[in-house]
């Protein structure tokens, strides 16, 4: 039986008609301010263990603020057991000698218009109290409903939160006491740090670039605190290899130019700008160029604060080189060749890989004319089972450095692939583990293919056609570099 029954059937009908409009603001999740995050919490539950909040029993949970922040909302695990128009009153109160004070810092009357158990947001929209770090506070829940129509507030059924405890008040003048079994109620506090809290981040628009290219760095300067920072300084430390071109910092309030940006009155929220730079011509391939930012700012009281530094890097000079499997014999091996196959079915070659681990070697031809550095390798093989049916194939690939005398394994990969039931050749990609190896001038890159004994069938490896261009993709920093171009005409000197 509820403590608030309608006086006539007409009143009940009126309530039902307005129910959607009345409940909507209470069920909606409040919009979070920039930088709002969880602070304190106990999310341990024990089945359906709960204490019923009603006119005959109020419930409280204490917590200690781990930061100074503006409390925006709570999450409580609740269930409305009866009249879906009943309200649960939730207040935030200071501590008064180990029990809740009678003073409410913030109040929210919550109506849950159903009887479903869940985690419900309790937004403090009218007044959001500023909590002080290290200070205890209480979440107090009360209700005017009878016990049969009260609100369940669920708990851990154990002392699981070190920063506080649960209390009950039987509302008969006896005050706040411990429950029969020490426990902690389910709760999460959300808020926004009170003081200004600035951070800087930077990322490269593209992680790789070639010498002479323009690269753009995106910079984010954020204040996740409630208070405005009086002034902030973002300093760009640009290492050799990059030349500054331009920036857009002035569009978000910077009053000084690169490399030291000054931002006055940085309020809550994000602000972003770009810095453009050029990779210097002549930069050695394989170099990682890094741009670093430092942050210093003054908070609301003028105290100097140092933010965490940030950096972003661009890898210079990496390119993709391809070599393809070819049945042409290179001594006892077959060939790895740079030209991509251009022929059709007539030029395609299908090689049988017995399921006995027999090696099938493919050597680069011609040999390398200069040292070749590779930092990542993928293989794509066009495969089918011997009878063109559904089979699992265990394929092992080994990449090696072969100088004609010594064979040095560099990386290997083994994977199980499943063929389909059609007479075709499916492309399967095999990614070798991360590597960084330089093949010497005069050496060959060798790929060894094996069909392991654990395969369900012999395999067919197709190559040397536009339909089955089995081969390797190698990421490399080795390529022809031009350090200087000197143009002359007939007027100037004709000798160089």
Q: What's 269's domain CATH number? A: 2.60.40.740
Residue 296 class from Cβ within 10 Å (0-12 exposed, 13-18 middle, 19+ buried)?
A: middle
- For 249-266, how does the pLDDT look when each residue is reduced to its tens digit (9 = 90+)? 999 999 999 999 999 999
The answer to which of 17-21, 123-127, 279-283 has the lowest mean pLDDT is 17-21
Residues 267/231, Cβ–Cβ less than 8 Å: no
Alpha-carbon distance of 462 to 99, in angstroms, equals 79
Q: Are residues 121 and 103 in the same domain?
A: yes
123 within domain boundaries: yes
- What is the extent of the structural domain holding 40? 23-193
Domain boundary among 168, 193, 218: 193
Indicate if 119 and 212 belong to the same structural domain: no
Alpha-carbon gap, residue 350 to 384, rounded angstroms? 10
| Average pLDDT along the chain | 90
In the predicted model, is pLDDT for residue 119 greater than 80?
yes
Report the SS3 class of residue 183: coil
Q: Are residues 169 and 46 part of one domain?
A: yes
In whole angstroms, give the CA distance from residue 348 to residue 462: 7
Per the CB < 8 A criterion, the answer to whether 166 and 58 are in contact is no
Q: Work out the pLDDT band at 377, boundaries 50, 70, 90.
A: very high
Res 366 pLDDT > 90: yes
pLDDT at 479: 56
In this structure, the answer to whether residues 180 and 31 fall within a common structural domain is yes
CATH number at residue 118: 2.60.120
Average pLDDT, integer, range 428-449: 96
- Residues 339 and 309 reside in one and the same domain: no
**Looking at the domain assignment, is residue 482 inside a domain?**
no
Q: What is the pLDDT of residue 14?
A: 31
Of 26-30, 186-190, 203-207, 294-298, the one with minimum mean pLDDT is 26-30
Strand, coil or helix: 185: strand
Tell me the C-alpha distance between 264 and 230, whole Å. 6
If 0-12 CB within 10 Å is exposed, 13-18 middle and 19+ buried, where does residue 467 land?
middle
Residues with Cβ within 8 Å of 495's Cβ and at least 6 positions away in sequence, in order, are: none
Which SS3 state, helix, strand or coil, does residue 11 take? Answer: helix
Is residue 489 assigned to a domain?
A: no
> Are residues 222 and 159 both part of a single domain?
no
In 3-state terms the chain splits into helix, strand, coil percentages (rounded to 5) of: 5, 50, 45
| pLDDT at residue 286 in the model | 82
User: Exposed, middle or buried: residue 172 (CB in 10 Å: 0-12, 13-18, 19+)?
Assistant: exposed
For 63, phi and psi rounded to 5 degrees? Answer: -150, 160
* pLDDT of res. 489: 55
- Is the same domain home to 231 and 244? yes
Residue 306 shares a structural domain with residue 350: no
Phi, psi of 340 (to 5 degrees): -75, 135
Which residue would you say has higher pLDDT here, 382 or 25?
382
Instruction: Clarify whether residues 311 and 330 are in a common domain.
Output: no
Q: How far, rounded to the nearest angstrom, does the alpha carbon of residue 292 sit from its chain's CA centroid?
A: 21
Pair 332, 438 in one domain: yes
The CA R_g of the chain, rounded to the nearest whole Å, is: 35
Instruction: Inform me whether the pLDDT recorded for 285 exceeds 90.
Output: no
Residue 232's DSSP bridge partners are: 263, 297
6-37 pLDDT tens trace: 333 333 323 333 333 333 333 333 344 688 99
Q: Are residues 358 and 306 both part of a single domain? A: no
CA 144, CA 225: separation in Å to the nearest integer? 37
Residue 150, in any domain of the structure: yes
Per-residue pLDDT band for 491 (boundaries 50, 70, 90) equals low
Task: Work out the widest C-alpha separation in the chain, in whole angstroms.
Answer: 110
**Looking up tokens 């909606």, which residue turns up?**
28
CATH of the domain at 379: 2.60.120.260
Is residue 154 one of the residues assigned to a domain? yes
Reference 269, options 196, 376, 212, 363; nearest CA is 196
Give a yes or no: residue 77 inside a domain.
yes
pLDDT over threshold 70, residue 57: yes
**pLDDT at position 412, please?**
96
Distance CA 122, CA 107 (A): 10
pLDDT on residue 174: 84
Residues 6+ apart with CB under 8 A from 106: 71, 91, 92, 124, 126, 127, 128, 129
- Structural domains of the chain, count: 3
**Does residue 334 sit within a domain?**
yes
Q: What is the pLDDT of residues 71-106, one digit of tens each?
A: 999 999 999 998 889 999 999 999 999 999 999 999
Within a domain: residue 9?
no
Pair (159, 208) in one structural domain: no
């Amino acid at each position: 039986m509820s403590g608030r029954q309608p006086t006539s059937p007409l009143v009940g009908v009126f309530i039902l008609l307005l129910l959607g409009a009345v409940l909507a603001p209470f069920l909606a999740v409040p919009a979070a301010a920039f930088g709002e995050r969880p602070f304190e919490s106990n999310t341990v539950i024990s089945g359906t263990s709960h204490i019923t909040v009603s006119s005959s029993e109020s419930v409280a949970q204490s917590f200690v603020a781990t930061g100074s922040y503006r409390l925006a909302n709570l999450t409580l695990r609740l269930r409305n057991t009866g009249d879906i128009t009943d309200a649960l009153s939730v207040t935030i109160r200071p501590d008064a000698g180990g029990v809740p004070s009678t003073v409410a810092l913030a109040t929210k009357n919550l109506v849950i218009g159903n009887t479903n158990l869940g985690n419900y947001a309790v937004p403090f929209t009218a007044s959001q109290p500023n909590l002080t770090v290290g200070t205890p506070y209480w979440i107090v829940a009360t209700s005017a409903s009878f016990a049969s129509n009260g609100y369940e507030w669920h708990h851990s059924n154990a002392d699981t939160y070190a920063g506080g405890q649960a209390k009950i008040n039987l509302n008969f003048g006896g005050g706040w006491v411990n429950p029969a079994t020490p426990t902690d109620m389910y709760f999460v506090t959300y808020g926004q740090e009170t003081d200004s809290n600035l951070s800087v981040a930077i990322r490269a628009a593209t992680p790789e670039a070639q010498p002479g290219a323009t690269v753009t760095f995106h910079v984010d300067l954020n204040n996740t605190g409630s208070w405005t920072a009086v002034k902030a300084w973002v300093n760009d430390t640009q290492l050799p290899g990059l030349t500054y071109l331009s920036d857009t910092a002035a569009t978000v309030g910077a009053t000084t130019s690169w490399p030291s940006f000054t931002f006055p009155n940085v309020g809550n929220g994000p602000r972003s700008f770009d810095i453009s730079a050029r990779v210097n011509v002549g930069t050695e391939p394989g170099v990682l160029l890094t741009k670093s930012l430092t942050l210093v700012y003054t908070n609301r009281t003028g105290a100097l604060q140092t933010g965490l530094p940030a950096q972003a890097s661009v890898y210079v000079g990496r390119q993709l080189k391809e070599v393809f499997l070819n049945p042409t014999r290179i001594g006892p091996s077959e060939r790895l060749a740079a030209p991509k196959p251009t022929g059709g079915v007539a030029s395609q070659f299908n090689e049988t890989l017995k399921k006995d681990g027999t090696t099938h070697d493919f050597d680069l031809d011609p040999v390398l004319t200069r040292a070749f550095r590779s930092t990542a390798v993928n293989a794509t093989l066009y495969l089918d089972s011997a009878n063109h049916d559904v089979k699992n194939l265990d394929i092992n690939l080994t990449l090696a450095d072969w100088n004609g005398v010594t064979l040095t394994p560099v990386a290997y990969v083994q994977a199980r692939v499943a063929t389909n039931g059609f007479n075709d050749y499916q492309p399967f990609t095999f990614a070798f583990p991360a590597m960084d190896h330089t093949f010497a001038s005069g050496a060959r890159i060798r790929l060894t293919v094996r069909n392991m004994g654990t395969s369900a069938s012999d395999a067919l490896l197709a190559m040397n056609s536009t339909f089955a261009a089995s081969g390797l993709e190698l990421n490399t920093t080795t390529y022809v570099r031009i350090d200087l171009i000197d143009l002359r005409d007939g007027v100037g000197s004709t000798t160089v």
